[in-house]
Amino acid sequence: MTTVFVPRDSAARSVGADDVAAAIESLAAKRGVDVEIVRNGSRGLMWLEPLVEVVTAKGRVAYGPVTPGDVDDLFAAGFLDGDDHRLGWGPTAQIPWLAEQDRLTFRRVGLVDPLSTEDYQAHDGLTALRRALTMTPEQICDEVTESGLRGRGGAGFPTGVKWRTVLNAPGPSKIVVCNADEGDSGTFADRMIMEGDPFMLIEAMIIAGVAVGAREGFIYIRSEYPDAVTTVRAAIEYAYGAGWLGPQVLGSAHAFDLEVRVGAGAYICGEETAMLESIEGKRGVVRAKPPLPAIEGLFGKPTAINNVLTLATVTVLLTHGAAFYRDFGVGRSRGTQVFQLAGNVARGGIVETAFGVTLGELIDRFAGGTASGRPVRAVQVGGPLGAYLPPEQFDLPLDYETFVDAGAMLGHGGIVVFDDTVDMAAQARFAMEFCAAESCGKCTPCRVGAVRGVEVIDQIIAGQDTAANVALLEELCDLMTEGSLCAMGGLTPLPIRSVLRHFADDLDQPKAAHP
Amino acid sequence: MEIIHAHAGGQGSLLPILHALQETFGFVDRIATALVATELNLSRADVYGVVNFYSDFRSSPPGAFRVQVCRGEACQSVGGRALAEHATSSLGVDFGETTTDGSVSLDEVFCLGNCALGPAVAVNGQLRGRVGADDFDELVHHDTSSVRPT
């Protein structure tokens, strides 16, 4: 019996992984070979999807990108023994693109069967939780603080400090919420964890519950991720069956219940207070802070809200210790960041590496330039609210502080590459358009400012009073930055200012002449 | 009513109820919003406000196939803008509309999480990657051919 891995990750399926799995199954039957197909998560080498791996004497050997039409040829070439083929990459772990990464948070994604509790435990699963159950809540919070872990959702707030605030907040019951509303274009790491290693998220939620004194948790997943919703719900069911969730977590005195809530197509619900409103069954309108959710959050209770990557990373540092994790990274950005190479790249996917790597290294060494083969003109880092950076800034090391100082932000680690055909005026306009479409409408700078922003940029593009309108746009950016209630309106100026700063030519030389 | 009862009682049950209604009927009927309001002890305006806020919830029946085209930046960088234009012109509808034969509802979406394999499209929730104009036609024709009038 030979084990063959074909990913079930929705990105792999989007380019034909299901058809490849079916082809392998039917051709194996036809050839009378005994093959077990395991649908794993994706290894994150999106440029090689569908990536087929075969378990051989040489280890796991990779072939990709495989189409159903290649499968007969693969059998003939002896891929079940790991033999050479034009699609062959040798042992997966030795593919340089993967070997040069520091896969900590993503250590299991793509390796295991996502819904096998045995496979999970065979790959270090539950080690962190078992350790946490021997610790006091204070000790867990301290260890998380010592690791230097900061919120990976974008804000970068120290996780241990947040947890301690919830732990110390008065109240008979507390709640843990996982923010899995990964709405930023260019990001897909949360989705891959939920589809590829859902038990890690469940384990982390329970640990968070023990640390802050909560007995219930919610995972808020966006509706655009139906496969993630199904996988996490199935994993929760298995976890209850295995006694990981429920009245006695792993036979301990701790109780923990977990539930998935599904969003409904509103980007703003990735903002933590809007998400709380949404879980409560209301319009996803941002709340004013204070009170902090850590003091008064979901249903008025003290609530620890963390992103998927943040929670997942807690299992790393509790398994290997705070010092191990802290040793990766630079400055106040400790550990690893899961970068997502996206857009016009030759080799897109997940690059998990220590903070401090430069943008240029990621784009040249890992992404291999653009997919179109044209020169890179701009890179948007950190989602729709992140700045567009020109190649002159590719020597910037990726850490929270350096990026803020450069008028940019790391956000959730999404890196979207554009080639030289991009019209940066259109990208600036889109930032305002997006804000206008997705604003919750609570505060005026965001609700009205974004609409006015589109109008002003349209006038600039049309060549009307360019200098005066650019000055007006700058003023509007100031107002939105200073006056908005949350990051939606507050950070929309970031991409626009970056266009004004680095790509002003696109605005000054209007594409369409005004009559 | 059964759907409403199955979800009512839990905390913050409005969104799960609306999702369940939409899954069963394809849209959230005005009559249903009144029933939900009564059951959850909310005003009809409250329920309407929630239905109205979230782009997922429809107030009219959808087409047989829901086609979502990603308009996020990562897809824009590999031809997403052109694909969006192609989608509206080839189907003859705008985003948010349904073709006159009722076969396809075309929606825009800001990110499907397939950002390294764009342009991305989802047909009835099934994700597709590297979708060019020809692929789009094939996908939409293939997936909807069974309901198209001949």
Q: What is the C-alpha to C-alpha distance for residues A222 and A323, in angstroms, rounded to an integer?
A: 34
Nearest to A343 among B74, B81, B127 (CB): B74
- Can you give the pLDDT at residue B4? 83
Split at pLDDT 50, 70, 90, the class of B142 is low
Q: Which tens digits make up the pLDDT trace of A427-476? A: 999 999 999 999 999 999 999 999 999 999 999 999 999 999 999 999 99
Concatenate the DSSP letters of all residues of A159-220 into one string. Answer: HHHHHHHHHHS--S-EEEEEEE---STT--HHHHHHHH-HHHHHHHHHHHHHHHTEEEEEEE
ipTM score of complex: 0.95
Burial A345-373 (b: 16+ CB within 10 A, else e): bbbbbbbbbbbbbbbbbbbeebbebbbbe
Q: How close B114 comes to chain A (CA, Å)?
A: 6
Judged by CB atoms closer than 8 Å, whether chains meet at A340 and B115 is answered as yes
Q: Which tens digits make up the pLDDT trace of A260-310? A: 999 999 999 999 999 999 999 999 999 999 999 999 999 999 999 999 999
Judged by CB atoms closer than 8 Å, whether chains meet at B116 and A299 is answered as no
Can you tell me which residue has the tokens 């009835």?
B124
Total beta-carbon pairs less than 8 A apart between chain A and chain B: 152
Query: How many residues in chain A?
Result: 515
Q: Which tens digits make up the pLDDT trace of A371-425? A: 999 999 999 999 999 999 999 999 999 999 999 999 999 999 999 999 999 999 9
* Structure token digits, residue A17: 């992984």
Q: Which tens digits make up the pLDDT trace of B54-111? A: 999 999 999 999 999 999 999 999 999 999 999 999 999 999 999 999 999 999 999 9
Strand locations in A39-151, DSSP E? Answer: 52-56, 59-63, 88-91
Q: How close A280 comes to chain B (CA, Å)?
A: 4
Chain B residues within an 8 Å CB radius of A384: 72-73, 110
Among A191, A228, A201, CA closest to A340: A191
Nearest to B120 among A14, A184, A284 (CB): A14
Backbone angles phi, psi at A4, to 5 degrees: -120, 130
pTM of the model: 0.96
* Structure token digits, residue B78: 């590999």
Q: With a cut of 50, say whether residue B149 has pLDDT above it.
A: no
Q: Which tens digits make up the pLDDT trace of A171-186? A: 999 999 999 999 999 9
- Can you give the pLDDT at residue A513? 42
